Structure 1
């Protein structure tokens, strides 16, 4: 994963709540064996409507998705996160995320931040009135900045550290390889051991 410190980008205002993973990427797009190539399936059903916000020229290249509450509900498919990343989104802001979706996002380098509904509505309005205006998400300062609006946010320190350092869970575990090896070397021979592949 790439380290995430600060991202500045334009906003896609998705004024929808209860967006589930089937809406994010329908099941027919889940045939790949890789983590890339899912962009075409992102919001595939909704994108057939020319008026869907992702189809608007003004929002092409937006990298920060601002959505309504209960984003990412439904099945636990990691493909939903991969599709968002593959399309170019780096951050999703919402009042509330489904737990499994949020966990999958943070494990894959997609920063998901919960903000109050009134802040989400301000960001929607700003993006609709000034679609070219960028906003900044600062993981080091734990702030979202849009013009004169600065909003603090919280993130679990473990997830924050991993994202700042660009570590997935395996990389974070391997930082303790020497301690793990020392522990394993002192275990009785009759107990199971973890051997390198």
Structure 2
């Protein structure tokens, strides 16, 4: 499996009630140098987390630098999360940091596609439900939120919210599949196609 798979996740939730958080805020472009998916978490929300360009001086005012949110894995955000450029490095950073689910009223389309194949569930809830969660997390710091991909439910304290998530995204997350994994599921058919193509269109073969 290429990414960590899960069906039911309970994790400490953090509230960042900002709208239109774009991919450059999630991961600034100067850190898009690695080709592996690992190692980006330290640069997540870099301009908000650090007081210096090098990322050595944490900003004590930023919520992810507060001790009670050390092991967060559920992010509650404002609408249109993940807008901006289509860089897949943004969900790489979120996943590498430890986030498994993001709850918001809406998400950018390309970001949604990239998130599912990196093990992150994007849970779209009504604005009033997100507002409740922002308030609940603020009043109960360190509390956990539970996301169930089988029943498509979110549990926070005594409250339960229902959401929709397309079957393809659910299957990706539950099985830990990325694009390569899904392609390899059809390896037998691909090999058979190549065998027939070589037989019927041998003139296409390159002669060295």
Provide TM-score, normalisation by structure 2. 0.86
Partner of 1:117: 127
Q: Any residues of structure 2 matched to 1:50-129 within 5 Å, and which?
A: 50-129=60-139
Structure 1 residue 10 and structure 2 residue 22: aligned? no
Deviations 1:133-170 (A, max 9, x none): 21110111111111211111111111212222222222
Partner of 1:180: 190
- The counterpart of 1:131, out of the listed 127, 137, 141, is 141
Contact 2:118 2:173 in 1 (8 A): no
Deviations 1:162-196 (A, max 9, x none): 22222222212222222333344344225869xxx
Over aligned residue pairs, what C-alpha RMSD do you find?
Answer: 1.8
Contact 2:5 2:175 in 1 (8 A): yes
- The counterpart of 2:201, out of the listed 168, 189, 196, is 189
Task: Write the distance in 2 (CA, Å) between the matches of 1:161 and 1:82.
Answer: 19
- Rg bigger for which structure? 2
Task: Write the distance in 1 (CA, Å) between the matches of 2:154 and 2:97.
Answer: 21
Task: Write the distance in 2 (CA, Å) between the matches of 1:163 and 1:46.
Answer: 28
Aligned length: 193
Compared with structure 1, are the counterparts of its residues 53 and 126 closer, same or farther at alpha carbon in structure 2 (3 Å cutoff)? same
- The counterpart of 1:29, out of the listed 28, 31, 37, is 31
Deviations 1:65-88 (A, max 9, x none): 000001111111111111111111
- The counterpart of 2:41, out of the listed 18, 39, 46, is 39
Task: Write the distance in 1 (CA, Å) between the matches of 2:36 and 2:193.
Answer: 35
Contact 2:63 2:69 in 1 (8 A): yes
Greater alpha carbon shift after TM alignment, 7-16 vs 22-31: 22-31
Deviations 1:16-64 (A, max 9, x none): 0110111111112122232111122111111234322212222221110
SS of residue paired to 2:95: helix
Task: Write the distance in 2 (CA, Å) between the matches of 1:192 and 1:153.
Answer: 50
Partner of 2:56: none
5+ long unaligned stretches in structure 2: 52-58
Greater alpha carbon shift after TM alignment, 161-170 vs 120-129: 161-170
Provide TM-score, normalisation by structure 1. 0.90
